Chain A
């Protein structure tokens, strides 16, 4: 059964059609063409599909496409301000906080959510705030340092 969904993605009005049982992740990737969110597991365990739904970070593989109706979605594609990278994006690059980069969109979304909730987190708070995202390449060291550095800059310190 097909459902017509009318939603806002990264500030733009978007309409798409999806199956009733289709995930928001699949709808974003296959219907809207936004492939920044990745499927790493399909079961909400790896965070590679993280997007923001009405300002709240979610695993888009655990949300139905139909649930996007009338709501606001933010994805990695909307994180930078035109050509101006978000401080988190810049710090990830400066610190080498990515190797293969597949988990990076999810981590950036999750880190943004952590800093939105707490602009001055401790190392432990960062680590637990990011514990819903799996990275297999970096051992998380440079990711945490990048988030700490971005938080510093964003606080204007």
Chain B
């Protein structure tokens, strides 16, 4: 029978408070163990040999000298990783990305690996592996890769989604289109049309913890993997398939994770570590260096976007159109498609058309990065929206309010919206004190909206009552930012006991059913839903046990304030039974007391945010200082408000870095020039002000507590908000992110000449 997930509008005792997180002491004392923080007896050091070329055919690999080096226990090439993907192209891409087979597609692409008794020996062994490359021409720019003269990565790639299907191979893997109405008719109605092109450079999720894992496979085909990941069940499934193992025989334990943001939803070195362990018959630990993380994990797309929007003098948008070209590295993903789906999602449009092109280049395989593809599209669209507002003399917030999507709007990606929160976030922005802060010389204010989907997904949770009445809450979604605290609050709320009576653990893959990854802003949203139902199931058992203890019918037992209470006059003198009382008698009343729930937390809503920011641009250096920043976003119900604020602030900070300084810089040789934190410049403490947050709580009708996903949306508006602020500060539209000092200076110099 399907569970009733509808919002109940109850008042909360625990949910909404701010207790200390259960993993807190471990994390402030250095006790918490992350991916690289474990060891196994006899473990070997695994190192990966990577291509120095952006594009090359592998003619021959000679591992014989490396194998003979004393201390080397295994040397691996793709020959040790047979193709077990059975025609599943995207799985094959994962396999090939983990270890090149016939061709290397980017500088840093893995070609071989060794496991040795120590790092020194492993490094020496790598040097002894001889790879014979035939260097091929490469292409790294998204627009260049689309030109007919560009070197083609895959000779059998004929663009999907183009009618008729091209007969000539190209780097354009796919074309997708979204929209409705008639944009040409819409543009004909417009009084003003703005058409502008934008570029955004490639960025990395920038998690401070490099990928790390410890893999052990025994001669009986059973294995264990300790790894930092956003989804240990997904990693298990992928690794088991690639290595030809039974899923149940590979136990994956998720370590604490030092950041993921989407970059740890895909496997990188893990199948290699497992394969090395299998070959060497010893545990193998692989820890990627920072340089490897930049060169060979999964950054986000660089993009090239054209936007055209038409408006009437009264402020009504009559048509909106975009062409989005996103590069995915060497493999097909749905990056441009997500950009096409999200680009105009904030607005109520009669005529809209977005076309996306997935383009392949010789760069690492693109992975999801927090609301993947939406920030770039929002940068382009929110910039044009601002320019249009200025053109017709309308306030930028008022212009957006006039055209904002609302319940009943047909979204730009197809379905009609139910109740949504963009209107409230815009109104809250309009009334926020930030809008009244004075601006001085060289300072500018900008605002922008953002949209992202939220997901539900497969989730299960166990609640086990200990013999002393304390509660073990076992979940399967990785805790990236404090969700164990939030989930404990939910369990405390349902059971009616104090937060301190709950201990939340994240199970390994052997101890719980499948859970989808912590991505799509689903960690707290879906696990909290499963926790609510698991708790309610536990309460059914508790009431039954209490009924036995009290010797009354179970229908006469209610669960209130953490106690089983006899209701009705005939049971007047029966004392309430606490969790502790009932647990103490569990052995006599039927055994261990537990509540489980397995659900697909589906039907999650969508999420909107509005950001406002003030900047000061130094016209002599082109340097931008962020003076004030405000995030306004609907959380439905903030289970632990501190961690919701944290998500808002963290996403904003990443977006600010993306907007102002972060980019992958490629040389003409197709090699990444800035594979380190010195020159890949992320925001530091002195770059940012305090980030103000406003949590709106418009309940999600499809969650018992009204909770919405919150983790991703806050990275979507910053590029647009900063772009508008900088453009207002210097009086010139910036259309290339990051808006780094050299680009700003160039724009200022360029404007002087005209």
Contact = CB atoms under 8 A, between A and B. Distances in A.
Interface of A: 19, 29, 34-43, 45-46, 48, 75-77, 79-80, 85, 89, 92-96, 98-105, 108, 124, 126-128, 130-145
B290 A41 contact: yes
Q: In terms of DSSP, what is the predominant structure of the interface of chain A?
A: loop
B682 A136 contact: yes
B730 to A, nearest CB: 25
Interface stretch (B26-34, B67-75, B126-134, B269-277): B26-34
A98 B27 contact: yes
B745 to A, nearest CB: 23
Contacts of B642: 95-96, 142
B569 to A, nearest CB: 48
A100 B20 contact: no
Contact of A140 (B30, B259, B643, B653): B653
Given A35-B36, A136-B261, A137-B481, 17 more contacts: A38-B34, A38-B258, A39-B287, A45-B678, A48-B208, A80-B29, A85-B29, A96-B643, A99-B480, A99-B482, A99-B647, A100-B208, A100-B480, A132-B684, A136-B259, A138-B653, A139-B683
A77 B654 CA distance: 30
B691 A100 contact: no
Given A99-B481, A99-B643, A138 B650 contact: yes
B511 interface: no
B372 interface: no
Interface residues of B, number: 56
14 contacts: A35-B36, A40-B258, A41-B290, A98-B24, A99-B647, A100-B208, A101-B258, A134-B682, A136-B653, A138-B649, A139-B683, A139-B691, A140-B688, A142-B646
A20 to B, nearest CB: 11
Contacts of A139: 649-650, 652-653, 683, 688, 691
A1 to B, nearest CB: 11
List the 10 closest pairs (A to B, CB-CB), nearest first: A36-B30, A102-B258, A139-B653, A101-B27, A96-B642, A45-B677, A99-B481, A139-B649, A76-B30, A89-B28
Nearest to B649: A139
Nearest to A88: B28
Contact of A141 (B29, B36, B260, B691): B691
Interface of B is mostly: loop
Given A100-B256, A141-B691, A144-B685, A134 B30 contact: no
B24 A93 contact: yes
A134 B677 contact: yes
Contacts of B29: 36, 76-77, 79-80, 85, 89
A39 B210 contact: yes
Contacts of A135: 208, 685
A102 B30 contact: no
Nearest to A107: B685
Contacts of B314: none
A140 B685 contact: yes
Contacts of A93: 20-21, 24-25, 28
B244 to A, nearest CB: 33
A111 to B, nearest CB: 10
B453 interface: no
A100 B688 CA distance: 20
A127 B685 contact: yes
A136 B27 contact: no
Contacts of B649: 138-139, 141-142
Given A35-B30, A42-B289, A136-B261, A131 B206 contact: no
Nearest to A109: B30
Interface in B666-691: 676-678, 682-686, 688, 690-691
